[in-house]
Structure 1
Amino acid sequence: MGDHYALWTNIGFAFLVILAVLILNKIVDRILVPFINREASAGNIWRNAILESLNPPVHGVIWIVGLTLAVGFLTRDGGFTLLSGFFPPARDLAVIALVVWFLLRAVGRMEIGFQARAKNKGQDIDPTAIDAIGKLIRAAIIITAILVAMQSLGFSISGLLAFGGIGGIAIGFAAQGLVANLFGGLTIYASRPFKVGEWIIMPGTEVMGEVQSIGWRATRVMGFDRRPFYVPNAMFNTAVLINHSRMTARRIQEYLHLRYRDIDKVPAIVADANKLLSEHPGIEHDFFVFQMDSYGDFALKMFLYAFTQTTDYNEYMSIKEDILLKIGNIVRAHGGELAVPTSTVHMPDGLSFQKSGPTPEPFLQGLAESPQSA
């Protein structure tokens, strides 16, 4: 009878502890949340990240303490032996998990805070570098937590490290591609040939578009036709890469064809076209070319080579269109014409064409005669 009474007394105490935990969590919500909101407005990134990450883990700590007390009451008189053997390692793992949760939340909020502060101050910050540092810190936190958890469960850390040295060789051979992609991602973060939001092209492949994310295994590139490419990071260690977002100017390179009969007008056309380029506000004036290049199959080949001051594609096309139209006007102003592919047939004397065959339909005959009447 006394043992039965003691058991129910312990269960009652455990129930009261759980009730106290629920009440304490409500009190913490009423006190901690307004305190965090008030202090977070001060603008300190580190303090804000810690405070904003604190609320859920604090609730977890309260529950762990409460459950520890409750289990202590339940197992005080030798009861619930299975619970007394299971709870201590579970509690240790829960504490490790809470610490990891808190640290990961803090790292994430620090990333957001640094980016927000740079945006508010109008500063240019590299999101790729922030993402890389955040991933490395997260990886270090998780690896450390796993080692601590294994040690708390009774595993030997030295034995695990020795096994890792031997097993790492086998794993390395079995996962060469994965390891290569991992180091390829680290190379991207270290050398930064591109970052998220930039436009890249990989010659010899179909990969071209905007970099949307850089992962540990692959980089996601959204193509110009809105198809996503998932490029293994190992490719960036050896592949040639063109970063369009870092160009300083766009190139205009065109051939214009002038009739052979206008060869005497070439010097004047070239002079006026070069004057146009030298005065055009959209062209870089340190280097440009408009000259006769060669004798083509059907026309004189005039070569246009210049760079625009803008890298925006729409502005580039507008500048290019404006220059081509104005050069066309210069050609016409000098009495010349732009040539199109033509062929000249020389007929021997006395030889002529003669119509033969059935008479065409009236409407076809009218179509054939209409250009002459015009």
Structure 2
Amino acid sequence: MINQLQLRLPIPLLGILLAAGVWLALQLLGRRLPNGSLGRALVLRSRLSLALTILVSTSAWWLLTLLGPELLPLPRGGAEVRDELIFFGLIWTLLRWKSEIWSQADTYSQQVFPSLPQRDRLFLFDISDKLFTMLVVVIIGLKLLRLLGTPTALLATAGGFGAAALGFGARTIVENGLSGISLYINRPFVVGDFIRIPSEDLNGTVQTISWFYTELRDPERQPIFIPNSIFTIKPIINIARIDSRRVWIDFGLRYDDRAAIETIIAELREQLESNTRIDHQKAPAVHFVGYGDSSLNLRLLCYVASGDIQAAWDLQQELLLRIGEVVDKHQAGMPFPTRTLIRG
């Protein structure tokens, strides 16, 4: 027994040396790759899982060979257990890669798809994550069924019961799942878009799109979880896809300044035509629109050259200041509510 143990001791020692060698090789390889790159991150992320997989699988194989076929009869003398541990170790490594990629999805997606806009890059990463997760689950499930020796007839029976359950008791789950697939195919919105659901009085930034629900973050930073089936039956407004935002400003002049209306309008139109922040494909306009109770009502209308809300607010502020300057320049004024009391 002692001689047999001495012959079999090199197996765990070789496992320790091999695990240490893999760790060192990955460490050296990772340091040769550019700092901050996806390749470097994945290589360094693989060190722990691969080294532990080698160490555990060789140790388990060694222990099973020590037990011998008398105590634990295995067709391949424990080699099949070693192979299964290696398989699950590789799956663990892939899951660690997935975690690393999603920890800095925006940075890594820019490296992989440098020519695509951010929303498209994140969409591709998101759908790749869902497909990868589904693939891993299917592979692990099939592997476990094979290890358990599940017969084909039992799988067929379970499939029949599963179909019946879907038909009678899981209609909502199926609807949400199919709607989730539809969201990935049609792409009415992607992660990062700000959307609004008027019928539900909901709005927020899309955080995640899962198979069965979508998470929004509203302006108060509260998470909102919406079943995907809503998006197939309710109209959705994707505010992030606005190509240019409208700036609409109503203002008034005093009735005593009626003679200055045309010159004020003309100068404001000139300023709009020379403003590079305005979308001139949609003609800007300034008009006298009516007689109010205490003012001559005017309206300025234009569109921002981008769909950015911050750019729209900046342009609106600039135009409000310009309107005041032009009105003062022509010695006109803006009315304010007044009340005249007549004492009898």
The TM-score range, normalised by the shorter chain, is: 0.7 to 0.9
Name the counterpart of 1:64. Answer: 57
User: Given that residues 252 and 306 in structure 1 are in contact (C-alpha distance below 8 angstroms), is that contact kept between their aligned partners in structure 2?
Assistant: yes
Name the counterpart of 1:322. Answer: 318
User: Given that residues 49 and 109 in structure 1 are in contact (C-alpha distance below 8 angstroms), is that contact kept between their aligned partners in structure 2?
Assistant: yes
1:251 pairs with one of 246, 250, 259:
246
Unaligned 5+ segments in structure 2 are none
For residues 262-291 of structure 1, the C-alpha deviation after alignment (integer angstroms, 9 at most, x for no partner) is 333322221121112112232222311110
User: Given that residues 251 and 307 in structure 1 are in contact (C-alpha distance below 8 angstroms), is that contact kept between their aligned partners in structure 2?
Assistant: yes
Q: Distance in 1 between matches of 2:256 and 2:105?
A: 69
Q: Distance in 1 between matches of 2:254 and 2:6?
A: 100
Q: Distance in 2 between matches of 1:301 and 1:191?
A: 45
* Larger displacement relative to structure 2 (135-144 or 330-339): 330-339
1:101 pairs with one of 69, 88, 92:
92
Name the counterpart of 1:27. Answer: 17
**1:5-154 equivalent positions in 2, closer than 5 A:** 9=1, 13=4, 17=8, 20=10, 22-40=12-30, 41=32, 49=42, 53=46, 56-57=49-50, 59-76=52-69, 78=70, 80=71, 83-84=72-73, 94=85, 96-105=87-96, 116=108, 118-119=110-111, 122-124=114-116, 126-154=121-149
**How far is the alpha carbon of 1:303 from its aligned partner?**
1.6
Q: Distance in 1 between matches of 2:105 and 2:113?
A: 12
Unaligned 5+ segments in structure 1 are 1-8, 346-351, 355-374
Q: Distance in 1 between matches of 2:324 and 2:4?
A: 96
Paired letter, 1:68: W
Name the counterpart of 2:259. Answer: 264
Q: Distance in 2 between matches of 1:13 and 1:51?
A: 38
- Residues 339 and 110 of structure 1, relative CA distance in 2, 3 Å threshold: closer
**How far is the alpha carbon of 1:32 from its aligned partner?**
1.2
Paired letter, 2:317: E
User: Given that residues 105 and 122 in structure 2 are in contact (C-alpha distance below 8 angstroms), is that contact kept between their aligned partners in structure 1?
Assistant: no
Name the counterpart of 1:240. Answer: 235
Partner secondary structure for residue 188 of structure 1: helix
**How far is the alpha carbon of 1:119 from its aligned partner?**
3.8
**How far is the alpha carbon of 1:72 from its aligned partner?**
3.5
- Higher Rg of the two aligned structures: 1
User: Given that residues 214 and 225 in structure 2 are in contact (C-alpha distance below 8 angstroms), is that contact kept between their aligned partners in structure 1?
Assistant: yes
Q: Distance in 1 between matches of 2:287 and 2:170?
A: 58
Partner secondary structure for residue 231 of structure 1: strand
**How far is the alpha carbon of 1:251 from its aligned partner?**
1.3
Q: Distance in 2 between matches of 1:154 and 1:285?
A: 71
- Residues 96 and 115 of structure 1, relative CA distance in 2, 3 Å threshold: same
Paired letter, 1:175: A
Using the size of structure 2 for normalisation, the TM-score is 0.79
* Larger displacement relative to structure 2 (171-180 or 225-234): 171-180
For residues 245-272 of structure 1, the C-alpha deviation after alignment (integer angstroms, 9 at most, x for no partner) is 3322221112212233433332222112
Partner secondary structure for residue 321 of structure 1: helix
Using the size of structure 1 for normalisation, the TM-score is 0.73
- Residues 117 and 277 of structure 1, relative CA distance in 2, 3 Å threshold: closer
Q: Distance in 2 between matches of 1:242 and 1:60?
A: 49
**How far is the alpha carbon of 1:139 from its aligned partner?**
0.9
Q: Distance in 1 between matches of 2:329 and 2:115?
A: 50
User: Given that residues 18 and 54 in structure 2 are in contact (C-alpha distance below 8 angstroms), is that contact kept between their aligned partners in structure 1?
Assistant: no
Q: Distance in 2 between matches of 1:38 and 1:204?
A: 57
Paired letter, 2:212: R
**How far is the alpha carbon of 1:135 from its aligned partner?**
1.8
Q: How many residues align?
A: 333
User: Given that residues 215 and 224 in structure 2 are in contact (C-alpha distance below 8 angstroms), is that contact kept between their aligned partners in structure 1?
Assistant: yes
- Residues 217 and 166 of structure 1, relative CA distance in 2, 3 Å threshold: same
Q: Distance in 2 between matches of 1:145 and 1:155?
A: 14
User: Given that residues 254 and 335 in structure 2 are in contact (C-alpha distance below 8 angstroms), is that contact kept between their aligned partners in structure 1?
Assistant: yes
**How far is the alpha carbon of 1:308 from its aligned partner?**
1.9
Name the counterpart of 1:301. Answer: 297
Partner secondary structure for residue 252 of structure 1: strand
User: Given that residues 115 and 127 in structure 1 are in contact (C-alpha distance below 8 angstroms), is that contact kept between their aligned partners in structure 2?
Assistant: no
Name the counterpart of 2:155. Answer: 160
Partner secondary structure for residue 224 of structure 2: strand
**How far is the alpha carbon of 1:105 from its aligned partner?**
4.0
Give the percent of matched residue pairs that are identical in Structure 1 and Structure 2: 24
* Larger displacement relative to structure 2 (19-28 or 216-225): 19-28
